[in-house]
Structure 1
Amino acid sequence: MAESFKPTPSLRSEKVEKITRDVLYWRRMKQLAIFQEPGNITSTSFPPSKDSGLVAVTSSVKLSLYDPCTSELITSYSRSKQSVYGARFRNDGRLIAIGGEEGKVKIFDVKNYGSSATGSKAPLRNYPAHSSAVHTVLFSASGKRLITMGDDHKICVFDITETKGDPCIVFENAHNDHMRCGDASAINENLFASGSYDHSAKIWDARNEEKQELLKINHGSPIEQVLFLPGDTFLITAGDHLIKIWNIARGGRLSHVMCNHHKTVTSLCLASNGTRLLSAGLDKRINIFSLNTGDYKLLYSLTMPAAILTLAISKNDMYMAIGMGNLLSIFRREPSTPMEISLSEAKIQNAGLEYRRKIRVAAPKPRAQERGGSRKTIEITAPAVDKNRIGRIDHLLRQYCHWKAIDVLFKGKYYVSAKPDLIVATFTEIHKRRALAVALAGRKYDTIRPITMFLLRNLFLPNYFPMLSVVAETLFDVYGDKVLDHQTLKLFQKLTEAVNREHIVQKNLLQLQGALEILFTMSRSYKNYYSDNDNEIFGDVSITPLPFSMNEKDHLENDLENFKEDLPMNGINNGHRERCK
């Protein structure tokens, strides 16, 4: 029986795409519903409690409450005369506060909000807090205080347990420009932060009698969002396309800068119990960063169809609300996939993704039925014959279509960008058959250029150089005395210049190696000269450096010199000039 065709072996690439648990976790976030609002969405907010299934949205003059589980509108409030901003839930999820263009701050009872029992949508509190628009309202850690920040450069603190509408604390001239963001500490009743368009973020203490900030941070651009990290040790500021992390415990020292966005960052929020940071911007991207590893690594990115104005995520990471213009998009996390479950089990057993391949799934047993009888399960005892399936390139090599195989490899960008190992393996197989010159000859200019560009990118890679150097020499031998167009000739010249640069680099490395060997030799001589006074207790400590051998480098330099001399660029240029005359 004839032996089946053996597929072409390819070199293993060192680039490995890691499928981590975070990728599988955030990949399950799928769009559930889209709602259209009367104007641009100015804020989205989820309650801090895990058991509350609500999301608040402000747009134009309306405050809306949605149920993300059923994707239905629960109720809405639209009695404001001007736009409303900055919806924020209290920690227990029972109260919600909003600001507005009128300068008033209103607090509503979420549990009885527009219910049939009361039939009223009147706010519990209505504070005429500021003389201009209020974009940011915050609840303190206990929920008994309300912090408001207005465009009149003032910060007011209200005690919501009292019925009077006067603020108990007022910070005059807190900033020199509009304040559009802020955050309150989750563990300290009196600590909160504010961000402004004057490029500064400030940390305040309500107990400070001097009404001055505790710390001032210069972000360098208008600040769109500020956020406390768990523990109140770090503060995150977002402005322009940069996200900066500041160490408050060390006097506001800059700890890290993240520049993964291309346009202005508009929203920040925490997820996964404060171990993940989500950022959204006008570049239509949502980036997820790691906060518990210390390197603030980008774990995953989501791409949206439009610029993102607001972003909020629920406490249990189950739902996510995204405001894009006048559209509200609600995302819901799907159940765990088998790959994610396998990865969790593999992590417990200290194994990798290959653990999933070990899980055997029993094939369904075939059933047969005779005429007039009942269906019975039968056992197949005949061994299954393995089919030797080969790819398209191996199929062409099997038919000795070398010219066609190279044409298929360089016809598109798939093999060049995704499978360079297969290209090198194909060249190796054709070279073994002594058909490389025939496979490269007789080509048009548009098929020569991709081969030359591939050589420019991958010629000097260690795994590819032995074979690609032969391909380059053959290419120069075949087209060295032929007339080439301007673009192809320019690529050949770039290839020659790349070889010359590599030759210079190797020469400099050899010179550096020789200088190091001289230093090592002098070090050994110096050590032998002062080796008379040996230590009688511990003996003499001998440090002997290992000099590099020059044999392999000399051989590599000779190969590069021979390869450089074999390039007939002078012949190409002269022949091209004579035919142009």
Structure 2
Amino acid sequence: MAETFPVKPKLRPTSNKTTPTPESKYWKSFKIPKDIETTPSKSLTYPITSLSFSPIAPHDFATTNSATLTIYSGQTLEPKSTINAFADTASSASYRCDGKLIAAGDLTGTVHVFDAKSRNHLRRLKGHSAAARLVRYPRASDKFHLFSGGDDSLVKYWDVATEKCLFPLPGHKDYVRCGDASPVSDDVFLSGSYDHRVKVWDVRVCKDGPVMELNHEKPVESVIYLPSGGLVATAGGNFVKIWDVIGGGKLLYSMESHNKTVTSLCMGKVGREGGEEADQYRILSVGLDGYMKVFDYAKFKITHTTRFPTPLLSIGFSPDCKTRVIGSSKGNLYIGRRKGKPEESEDLGDRLGFGAVEDEPQRRVLRPSYFRYFHRGQNQKPSEGDYLIKRPTKVKLAEHDKLLKKFRHKEALVASLNRKNPENVVAVMEELVARKKLIKSVSNLDTEELGLLLGFLQKYSTLPRYAKLLTALLNKVVELRAEDIRSSDHLRGHIRNIKRGVEEEIRIQQSLQEIQGIISPMLRIAAKR
């Protein structure tokens, strides 16, 4: 028998305040010492189209906005140099694996290669007939090639030394806007397009077309490899999706937590202050709603959320886990920096201004060869390097989960309604929709059970996070059970209450729109001042 898992509610915005976890405290520790405005005039705004960190310490980072590429110091966070060699708006900055060269595209379709230190213009790779929005170097050790993508729907693989395109890779049917190089192979990379497709290319067999294709079902804005090289994250619309490319391109999870388009993804890592989650990777996403989300793809849950005042277009995280940079549509750079703690090995006398202090005798470390090692109590904390073996926890199934396991769909719906937990009820309804059994279950409800369902719809159908599903279900219930509703005063009372609730919600929304129409011009006038 296949293993059964409980039905879980989808990730939805909530207003409940919870106690911050160690990981949440870790992400909040990225204070913003600098909010840099990259545009000289407030009347002109140039969005930060891309961010890229150097893989070599001190991990300088480069940004593109307008027709400029700016390199910032990874130590002082101040601009080190500016490159103004672009004929049009620059995009998609990318460092080479040794950090010595940096490449970027522009709207003329040219890919430019510069010396990161001297700013010398080394190469111009001309081959795209429209804007070059994607430029990436391989990650591991290849210093002689890069790949690019443009609004001409083409992906190209270049020999940088000779400025020749080795492989033009057709296949996309719309703008190519994003891509990433594999962390485990210099021959494999991704490209994402507005045709909703993500293609996996292998330059060893690229003449036969892409080796795999993923359908994101929305225009793809960003795509990244996860550190193992076997998983891929894609962003488009307000979705972030996780794919198993080793398993044949299987969709593992779809996250809908942003309210507007997700514009950029990057990988971050939880430091040692993150509690039990230390040294684990996270997906960082930003969107036009101004939110940055931290997503634990091992547990499929959001671990931290931060709101910024402007729509966000790009995000980068330094390899040493100390700096996080976010670029906005209005040209702002939100640079978050963590202060490093003094090393434990630092000499106490030097820190206090005295001479050398004698080391205190260290406590004897327990080793597997000692007798006491095998008689440690259960409260003994594990040492670094110990392997913890935990007892497998038995999955506890709620009543509705047990009924779903037995394919008793109507009883599962009624059981969830009786528990009066809206998240579980909606989760059960979504599961029945996936099984194509929700309408049949509603049709089989008796009068008392139908009253229970209408009471739930009356209470929660106007809540924004449930309205999409429950409003559609309400229409179906009224259509299917019209005769039963007419014959029962109790059920007609529920319908009248639902009607009043919907009319009240419409009045509230109209009032809010009127207020927004009054305030918006005032805010625009204040912003110009």
TM-score by length of 2: 0.57
Label 1:226 to 1:501 Cα distance change in 2 as closer, same or farther (>3 A). Answer: closer
Structure 1 CA distance, aligned partners of 2:305 and 2:67? 32
Label 1:182 to 1:275 Cα distance change in 2 as closer, same or farther (>3 A). Answer: same
Q: SS state of the match for residue 165, structure 2?
A: coil
- Matched-pair contact (CA < 8 Å) for 1:229–1:274: no
- Matched-pair contact (CA < 8 Å) for 1:103–1:133: yes
Alignment of 1:447-466 (within 5 A): none
Structure 2 CA distance, aligned partners of 1:348 and 1:84? 58
Label 1:324 to 1:145 Cα distance change in 2 as closer, same or farther (>3 A). Answer: same
Alignment of 1:295-310 (within 5 A): 295-310=299-314
Structure 2 CA distance, aligned partners of 1:330 and 1:265? 20
Label 1:238 to 1:501 Cα distance change in 2 as closer, same or farther (>3 A). Answer: closer
- 1:204 partnered with 2:201: yes
Structure 2 CA distance, aligned partners of 1:246 and 1:207? 23
- 1:321 partnered with 2:325: yes
Q: Which residue of 2 aligns with 1:71?
A: 77
What residue identity is the alignment partner of 2:49? T
What residue identity is the alignment partner of 2:246? A
- Matched-pair contact (CA < 8 Å) for 1:28–1:336: no
Alignment of 1:274-313 (within 5 A): 275-291=281-297, 294-313=298-317
Q: Which residue of 1 aligns with 2:37?
A: 36
The offset of 1:302, in angstroms, is 1.1
Which deviations, in whole Å up to 9, do the C-alpha atoms of 1:70-129 show, x marking residues without a partner? 23211101132211100011122111100001111111111333xxxxxxxx31111113
Q: Which residue of 2 aligns with 1:451?
A: none
Structure 1 CA distance, aligned partners of 2:133 and 2:36? 23
- Matched-pair contact (CA < 8 Å) for 1:52–1:93: no
Alignment of 1:8-407 (within 5 A): 17-38=18-39, 39-49=46-56, 51-113=57-119, 122-140=120-138, 141-142=140-141, 143-160=143-160, 162=161, 164-171=162-169, 173-208=170-205, 210-272=207-269, 275-291=281-297, 294-325=298-329, 326-335=331-340
Label 1:501 to 1:218 Cα distance change in 2 as closer, same or farther (>3 A). Answer: closer
Label 1:77 to 1:349 Cα distance change in 2 as closer, same or farther (>3 A). Answer: farther
- Matched-pair contact (CA < 8 Å) for 1:269–1:279: yes
The offset of 1:17, in angstroms, is 4.1
Q: SS state of the match for residue 257, structure 2?
A: coil
Structure 2 CA distance, aligned partners of 1:266 and 1:348? 46
Q: Which runs of 5+ in 2 are unaligned?
A: 1-15, 40-45, 270-278, 343-377, 383-418, 421-447, 457-529
- Matched-pair contact (CA < 8 Å) for 1:195–1:225: yes
Identity within the alignment, %: 33
Label 1:211 to 1:32 Cα distance change in 2 as closer, same or farther (>3 A). Answer: farther
- Matched-pair contact (CA < 8 Å) for 1:311–1:320: yes
- Matched-pair contact (CA < 8 Å) for 1:129–1:148: no
Structure 1 CA distance, aligned partners of 2:211 and 2:121? 34
Structure 2 CA distance, aligned partners of 1:349 and 1:18? 27
Q: Which residue of 2 aligns with 1:492?
A: none
Q: SS state of the match for residue 312, structure 2?
A: coil
What residue identity is the alignment partner of 2:71? L
Label 1:209 to 1:62 Cα distance change in 2 as closer, same or farther (>3 A). Answer: closer
The offset of 1:350, in angstroms, is 5.2
Q: SS state of the match for residue 207, structure 1?
A: coil
Structure 1 CA distance, aligned partners of 2:324 and 2:452? 53
- Matched-pair contact (CA < 8 Å) for 1:68–1:330: no
What residue identity is the alignment partner of 1:43? S
Structure 2 CA distance, aligned partners of 1:26 and 1:155? 36
Label 1:348 to 1:108 Cα distance change in 2 as closer, same or farther (>3 A). Answer: farther
Q: SS state of the match for residue 80, structure 1?
A: coil
Q: SS state of the match for residue 230, structure 1?
A: coil
Q: Which residue of 1 aligns with 2:469?
A: none
197-206 or 143-152, which moves further after superposition? 143-152
Structure 2 CA distance, aligned partners of 1:69 and 1:149? 32
Q: SS state of the match for residue 35, structure 2?
A: strand
Label 1:16 to 1:151 Cα distance change in 2 as closer, same or farther (>3 A). Answer: closer
Structure 2 CA distance, aligned partners of 1:316 and 1:211? 39
The offset of 1:284, in angstroms, is 1.0
Label 1:209 to 1:61 Cα distance change in 2 as closer, same or farther (>3 A). Answer: closer
Q: Which runs of 5+ in 1 are unaligned?
A: 1-14, 114-121, 338-346, 352-459, 462-496, 506-581
Structure 1 CA distance, aligned partners of 2:214 and 2:75? 40
The offset of 1:35, in angstroms, is 2.0
Structure 1 CA distance, aligned partners of 2:121 and 2:208? 30
Label 1:349 to 1:284 Cα distance change in 2 as closer, same or farther (>3 A). Answer: farther
Root mean square deviation, CA, Å = 3.1
Q: SS state of the match for residue 232, structure 1?
A: coil
The offset of 1:138, in angstroms, is 0.9
- Matched-pair contact (CA < 8 Å) for 1:223–1:240: yes
Q: Which residue of 2 aligns with 1:419?
A: none
What residue identity is the alignment partner of 2:260? K
Which structure is higher in RCO with an 8 Å CA cutoff and minimum separation 6? Answer: 2
Structure 2 CA distance, aligned partners of 1:274 and 1:90? 25
The offset of 1:55, in angstroms, is 1.4
Structure 1 CA distance, aligned partners of 2:196 and 2:245? 17
141-150 or 199-208, which moves further after superposition? 141-150
Q: SS state of the match for residue 112, structure 2?
A: strand
Structure 1 CA distance, aligned partners of 2:290 and 2:254? 20
Which deviations, in whole Å up to 9, do the C-alpha atoms of 1:441-491 show, x marking residues without a partner? xxxxxxxxxxxxxxxxxxx99xxxxxxxxxxxxxxxxxxxxxxxxxxxxxx
